[in-house]
Structure 1
Amino acid sequence: MNTGLNRRQVLQQSALGFGSLALAGLLSDSARADSTGGTPLAPRAPHFPATAARVVFLFMHGGISHIDSFDPKPQLTAMNGQPLPFAKPKFEFAPTGNLLASPWKFRNYGQSGIEVSDLFPCIGNCVDDIAVIRSMNGSDLVSHGPALLNINTGSGVFARPSLGAWTLYGLGSENQNLPGFISLSPSLYHGGAQNYGASFLPATFQGTRIGDGSTHFRDARLSSLTPGQTPALQRLQLDLLKRRNQRHLAEQGPDSALEARIDSFEMAFRMQAEAPDIMDISRESAAMQNAYGVDAEPTDEFARQCLLARRCLEAGVRFVQVNFSYPRNYWDAHGDLRNNHTSNAARVDQPIAALLQDLKTRGLLAETLVVFATEFGRTPAAQGHDGRDHHPHAFSCWLAGGGIRGGLTYGQTDEFGYYVTENKVTMPDFHATILHTLGLDHEKLTFRHAGRDYRLTDVHGHVIRNILNQPAPAT
């Protein structure tokens, strides 16, 4: 006899409900996708008082040379053209020759007197608000793809949720009419959408991409938000679609992809009213646009991204990723180091300094963590006669605002910049520190998937407390 019941319904209704109980256990991972009663992006309380409410992550694709930017090496200049007096790393992307001096001078900036190269005079003028980490270490990930995934997701090998997705999962969003995580002009070349994706986290927490890194950012649009019907008619259509999808969920059980799709339709409907105004940087004064470098070359493109980032942060977006992206722009100076780094620094130096100053003037820097990072550094030894190869063994990044103690350097490399000699900062350490400023304990921010609890830092990571304004929270 055909009862009209499918296999799942038979399980649910048989053996006094024990079939349903077992089924619920099998589906428990996905059932945890929403811990806020149907509103996955609702704001959540942090684990302890936060010093940062939001993050802007300035990602420099390609690998900025640390020894030409934020880690001066006089001995490298003194021994220019000579062989390295100790062994090179076992893992190299390509062969390198003798030592290559930096083409740029380093100068002292601010009351702290931190040395920054002539590549970044505008950022140098902000150095009293910045903590420069000179002892980053990216393990042995010498290729762009794994290195990008490592800094953005915590793993260069496995598919993992991005830092922005973990942040949104932990804290939710401050504005329910905008995405909580936006990635501006991300590169789709190395690692692709994984760099702002959610992986096994509910898809609701993935980043919303604006631009793709292959075309000028002035052409980036959210064209799908253009309404084709009146709001009333759209609402009727969405309500019908939502009822059918929810009926399917009730019959088939938890499905994070479908749940995220329902949320995305609702978000898009709400965004139609607010997002176009946020994206319209022409609403900014001429003086503000000039300060960032909008409509001027070579700063225009990155200036637009930085100014939009500030507008998004001000509107309540939790995490904004601003990408200087391959293949149109990149720091991958295997040859012609001088021209590569000079031209790229000229594109980003003024906009980044303007963003820092703008946030500070508006009172937002104190609660906004600004992260400036790249996937690895570059070799002190020459590749060819005027280039530098990939170098994950030692490189520099910096942080500002959001509880960071500015005007300091942390960690050291050897006299040539080859290896970390003091206070090595691994990628789990870096991520643990970012989460800490947001009030998130990296050991407690977990998600159960495939039978185990996962976290951004896996089983590693220590907070870099020496660069923080506040002591450790009480446990």
Structure 2
Amino acid sequence: MDSFQEHRLLETRRHFFASAGFSLGTAALATLMGEGKATAAGSKTGIGAALPETHHPAKAKHVIYLHMVGGPAQMDLFDYKPKMKDWYDKDLPESVRNGQRLTTMTSGQSRFPIAPSMFKFAQHGKSGMWVTELLPWTAKMVDDMCFIRSMHTEAINHEPAITYMQTGNQVTGRPCLGAWTSYGLGSLNKDLPTFVVLVAQPTNTEQVQAISARLWQSGYLPGEYAAVPFRAKGDPILFINNPPGVPSDIRRKTLDGLKTLNEMTFQQVGDEETHTRIAQYEMAYRMQSSMPELTNIQNEPLTTFKLYGDEAKKPGSFANSVLMARRLVERGVRFVQIYLNNWDTHGNAAGRLPSQCRDIDQACYGLIQDLKAKGLYDSTLVVWGGEFGRTIYSQGGLSPKNYGRDHHPRCFTMWMAGGGAKPGAIYGETDDFSYNIVKDPVHIRDFHATVLHLLGFDHEKFTYRYQGLDQRLTGVEKANVLNGLLA
């Protein structure tokens, strides 16, 4: 038996249907010619979607996910703990820690001295949300936001924790939330990707964590659902322009020839990644005409930069990235992921947090107001948060220059706005030490289930067949949609 015949006998059930012309890859490619259809049960999906409709009517059509890499300190930003002033320099009680796991960065400390927040807090809005003085712009819009104070995770180190938050599993190789969204909803613009990633540059780069493209991969989903990363300098996307001396008509003829060859390969083998290549080549060709208009922010009115701040004019800044996110969803991109580094405050927390907050404060406010002005707010879910929180006890002493906070997976704060999230809501509660959850715990699985619900999907039914199992973002353990966060 030759190797080709052996391959055909060992091919998966999915590949069998692919060779018969009924694969997901074929369906996805076919939708490049038009959008899916909806019934009364769900919402209409878009170009390239693997599903014709959602499970129920969607509240959100787009997601802008702002991930703060490193883990923001919840007690310095949103989780106000005034009683900690009386605990200054006293050790964290063992009854609070209760033997919980520590990182190797502080497990060897002889003491765990309490370090209350150095920053003032005040209540804002009708919701009475406590917000640090470092976020005056954010404080203006708390009644538009819902805060989750009781997020928690099992991961205690950055790489597995970020992977967990993005893909629902600490082990790499799974599709991320953006890829699932891309797979289920497709795009509303055939000339732009469904899923885009931007890595913003913080003003302060004292302790930047490494992040990799594994965070925005498609995993076992077809490769066309992975994110397209945009660059801050040079061409937004590598190799988007034709090589020197190659005119557009020659490029088109070359791509037509490649498509013919790839279709022949697909008919022989039935590998869905072949159609991924076809879709990627075609998307790259169409983006050559759409990208210049998208990335030219000079056409934005002066009021835009007054809203976001002058930093929005600086390529690669967080403000510039969120402005780009608005321009992307305005043009039909479903999911925009923005990463901002340097929240890993093991030291010099008092010196670094003001800089980090300046990076995000007016920019986030500007984004929410801009989405409202463009009529996109109700259909765009904005998410803000890190991969875990920080400890109330200090790492490195209590002097303003040296004190820092270690990783803390037991509780941290995130917020959401728009896209069907309940405005002015506060969900969950932590103890006086911001160390343990005392009310309404929210696991990453619950967060993912809620986001999928707002996008129109039942997380238990939203699956993909892989290695003989119906895989899903929320895994096999129990996950709950947080109805208290739904408008």
Scaled by the length of structure 2, what TM-score is found?
0.86
1:224 counterpart SS class = coil
Does structure 2 retain, via aligned residues, the 8 Å contact 1:56–1:309?
yes
User: For the residues of structure 2 that align with 1:406 and 1:306, how far apart are their CA atoms?
Assistant: 21
Residue 83 of structure 1 pairs with residue 91 of structure 2: yes
1:38 counterpart SS class = helix
Q: Measure how far apart 1:315 and its partner are.
A: 0.3
Residue 304 of structure 1 pairs with residue 320 of structure 2: yes
- Residue of 133, 142, 145 corresponding to 2:159: 145
Corresponding residue number in structure 2 for 1:388: 405
Residue 467 of structure 1 pairs with residue 485 of structure 2: yes
Q: Measure how far apart 1:26 and its partner are.
A: 6.7
Unpaired runs of 5+ residues, structure 1, are 13-18, 212-216, 470-475
Residue 351 of structure 1 pairs with residue 344 of structure 2: no
- Residue of 39, 48, 57 corresponding to 1:42: 48
Residue 27 of structure 1 pairs with residue 2 of structure 2: no
- In the TM superposition, 1:43-58 aligns within 5 A as 43=49, 44-58=52-66
Corresponding residue number in structure 2 for 1:410: 427
Cα separation, partners in 2 of 1:186 and 1:118, compared to 1, 3 Å: closer
Deviations 1:387-409 (A, max 9, x none): 10011110000000011111121
User: For the residues of structure 2 that align with 1:121 and 1:29, how far apart are their CA atoms?
Assistant: 56
Corresponding residue number in structure 1 for 2:102: 92
- In the TM superposition, 1:244-393 aligns within 5 A as 244-251=261-268, 253-295=269-311, 301-325=317-341, 330-385=342-397, 386-393=403-410
Residue 66 of structure 1 pairs with residue 82 of structure 2: no
User: For the residues of structure 1 that align with 2:200 and 2:260, how far apart are their CA atoms?
Assistant: 35
- In the TM superposition, 1:105-124 aligns within 5 A as 105-124=120-139
Residue 425 of structure 1 pairs with residue 442 of structure 2: yes
Q: Measure how far apart 1:446 and its partner are.
A: 0.5
Cα separation, partners in 2 of 1:220 and 1:337, compared to 1, 3 Å: farther
Q: Measure how far apart 1:236 and its partner are.
A: 1.1
User: For the residues of structure 2 that align with 1:190 and 1:166, how far apart are their CA atoms?
Assistant: 24
Q: Measure how far apart 1:105 and its partner are.
A: 1.1
Cα separation, partners in 2 of 1:227 and 1:75, compared to 1, 3 Å: same
Q: Measure how far apart 1:109 and its partner are.
A: 1.3
Q: Measure how far apart 1:63 and its partner are.
A: 0.6
Corresponding residue number in structure 2 for 1:204: 224
Deviations 1:299-325 (A, max 9, x none): 981111011000001000000011113
Residue 175 of structure 1 pairs with residue 189 of structure 2: yes
- Residue of 77, 102, 105 corresponding to 2:117: 102
Percent identity reads 36
Corresponding residue number in structure 2 for 1:472: none
Matched residue type, 1:294: D
User: For the residues of structure 2 that align with 1:428 and 1:59, how far apart are their CA atoms?
Assistant: 17
Cα separation, partners in 2 of 1:29 and 1:398, compared to 1, 3 Å: farther
Computed over aligned residues only, the root mean square deviation of the Cα atoms, in angstroms, reads: 2.3
Does structure 2 retain, via aligned residues, the 8 Å contact 1:53–1:438?
yes
2:192 counterpart SS class = coil
- Residue of 423, 433, 436 corresponding to 2:453: 436
Corresponding residue number in structure 1 for 2:140: 125
Residue 454 of structure 1 pairs with residue 460 of structure 2: no
Cα separation, partners in 2 of 1:300 and 1:255, compared to 1, 3 Å: closer
Does structure 1 retain, via aligned residues, the 8 Å contact 2:167–2:177?
yes
1:225 counterpart SS class = coil
Cα separation, partners in 2 of 1:220 and 1:90, compared to 1, 3 Å: farther
Deviations 1:328-365 (A, max 9, x none): xx111101111111111111111111001100122211
Matched residue type, 1:308: M
Corresponding residue number in structure 1 for 2:205: none
Residue 241 of structure 1 pairs with residue 258 of structure 2: yes
